[in-house]
């Protein structure tokens, strides 16, 4: 039995070194807790089923686990390929990155749509729309993106350079951390020059190797993989009924990273110039669904139940938010139906404190407080 922790500070240990973009729901802050709990299961192989920024996958890989990273997003697959599959190391990439940094900027598809001159003081471009980057940086983006396609790279090299480009763009953006809308006033960082760096690659010798990367809907993947531990961090939507669903959809938030990876110059719509395939009827995941099913329970809760039932892993570690659609009571019911909840805790980001979880009314009301991240560790029954 894993001991319960109660109102104790988060471990005062340097979080494992990871890299990633600004991301809604990134688990950067709780990586030490995730590693502690995973360590107590004795697992060697971990499935990160919703890998997002891949920070958690990176931390698992650096800690010696064999990792299966999966996410439905194109750019997440690019990041996972960079961090988990590269075997050449940083020296191979330095000259390639230097070459990309030395290119002259040029006007192209990205500049025409996502760049504005800084001179006017606002981010509003010639077409009257707010833009996420200053024009000299989108011109560098246009030149670099075109060159990456011309360099004759293999899939891993391409992923490393694209990851480097996305990380660099994330450092000079003028957003609040997503691309569903842009700031009117330029952010301070948007005045900086776009500069690529070699990603902090994970040494290939980090045992044991043999990671794998997939880009699938999780339910398509589950019958194909087995792991000792499955870490699930699905989107949790919002329990605010007035919030339009498109506001909490990952496809809508990070459409630009997809366009940069694919360089497919897609059809766009709306003020944020989103990809047409990130529109509500096209995109979205059952985990982002805001409706209730016939049973009266949110469809999200049904999806989580299916996830835990179908995964072939002895342990499941589930991250969720107290602000999510599925209630904590739903989760407790679902998880205890699938096995034994060996550990549960809530983490308050603002106070940097975690508390052991007890199924009392008091606790349940406490966890209705927004910004609490909940972690459940379940040992499945066979
Ligand atoms: C909360 S985020 C994961 C964040 C990640 N743990 C991190 O630290 O960056 C949820 C992720 O689930 C992905 N996703 C949504 N629906 C999915 C599905 N049906 N199958 C696989 N991935 C999905 C989204 O693209 C998003 O990256």
Which pLDDT score is estimated for 2? Answer: 38
Of 250, 258, 302, 319, the one to substitute when testing ligand 1's pocket (max ligand atoms within 8 A of C-beta) is 250
Could you tell me if the CB of 76 is within 6 A of ligand 1?
A: yes
Which pLDDT score is estimated for 326? Answer: 81
CB 158 within 8 A of CB 79: no
Q: Which CATH code fits 8-86+204-245+292-380?
A: 3.40.50.150
Which pLDDT score is estimated for 348? Answer: 75
Instruction: Please return the burial class of 181, using the count of CB atoms within 10 Å of its CB with bins 0-12, 13-18 and 19+.
Output: middle
Q: How far is the CA of 218 from the centre of ligand 1 (A)?
A: 9
pLDDT tens for each residue of 136-154: 999 999 999 999 999 999 9
* Closest CA relative to residue 260, chosen from 69, 79, 50: 79
The domain limits of the chain are 8-86+204-245+292-380, 90-191
Say what the pTM is. 0.91
Could you tell me if the CB of 239 is within 6 A of ligand 1?
A: no
Which pLDDT score is estimated for 362? Answer: 44
CA-to-CA distance for 4 and 376, rounded, in angstroms?
Answer: 11
Which pLDDT score is estimated for 29? Answer: 84
List of the chain residues with pLDDT < 50:
1-15, 207-208, 242-247, 283, 358-363
> Residue 185: beta bridge partners?
122
| Atom 15, ligand 1: residue with shortest CA distance | 285
Instruction: Describe the chain by its helix, strand, coil percentages, rounded to 5.
Output: 40, 15, 45
Cis ω on the peptide bond leading into residue 200 (within 30° of 0)? no
């Amino acid at each position: 039995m894993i001991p319960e922790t109660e109102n104790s500070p988060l471990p005062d240990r340097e979080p494992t070194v990871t890299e990633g973009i600004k991301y809604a729901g990134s688990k950067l802050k709780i990586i030490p807790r995730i590693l502690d709990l995973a360590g107590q299961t004795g697992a060697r192989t971990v499935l990160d089923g919703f890998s997002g920024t891949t920070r958690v996958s990176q931390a698992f890989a650096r800690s010696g686990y064999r990792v299966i990273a999966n996410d439905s997003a194109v750019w997440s697959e690019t990041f996972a390929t960079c961090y988990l599959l590269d075997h050449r190391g940083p020296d191979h990439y330095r000259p390639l990155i230097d070459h990309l940094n030395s290119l002259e900027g040029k006007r192209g598809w990205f500049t025409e749509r996502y760049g504005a001159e800084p001179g006017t003081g606002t981010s509003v471009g010639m077409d009257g729309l707010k833009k996420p980057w200053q024009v000299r940086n989108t011109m560098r983006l246009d030149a670099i993106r075109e060159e990456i396609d011309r360099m004759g790279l293999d899939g891993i090299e391409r992923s490393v350079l694209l990851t480097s480009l996305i990380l660099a763009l994330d450092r000079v953006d003028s957003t609040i951390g997503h691309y569903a809308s842009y700031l009117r006033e330029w952010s301070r960082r948007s005045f900086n020059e776009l500069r690529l760096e070699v990603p902090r690659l994970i040494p290939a010798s980090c045992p044991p190797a043999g990671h794998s990367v997939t880009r699938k809907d999780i339910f398509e993947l589950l019958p194909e993989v087995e792991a000792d531990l499955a870490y699930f961090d699905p989107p949790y939507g919002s329990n605010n009924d007035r919030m339009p669903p498109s506001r909490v959809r990952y496809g809508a938030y990070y459409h630009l990273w997809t366009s940069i990876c694919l360089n497919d110059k897609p059809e766009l719509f709306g003020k944020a110039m989103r990809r047409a395939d990130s529109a509500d009827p096209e995109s979205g995941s059952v985990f982002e669904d805001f409706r209730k099913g016939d049973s009266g329970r949110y469809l999200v809760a049904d999806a989580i139940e299916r996830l835990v039932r179908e995964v072939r892993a002895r342990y499941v570690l589930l991250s969720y938010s107290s602000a999510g659609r599925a209630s904590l009571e739903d989760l407790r019911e679902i998880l205890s139906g699938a096995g034994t909840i060996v550990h549960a805790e809530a983490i308050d980001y603002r106070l940097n404190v975690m508390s052991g979880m007890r199924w009392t009314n008091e606790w349940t009301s406490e966890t209705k407080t927004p910004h609490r991240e909940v972690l459940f560790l379940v040992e499945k029954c066979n």
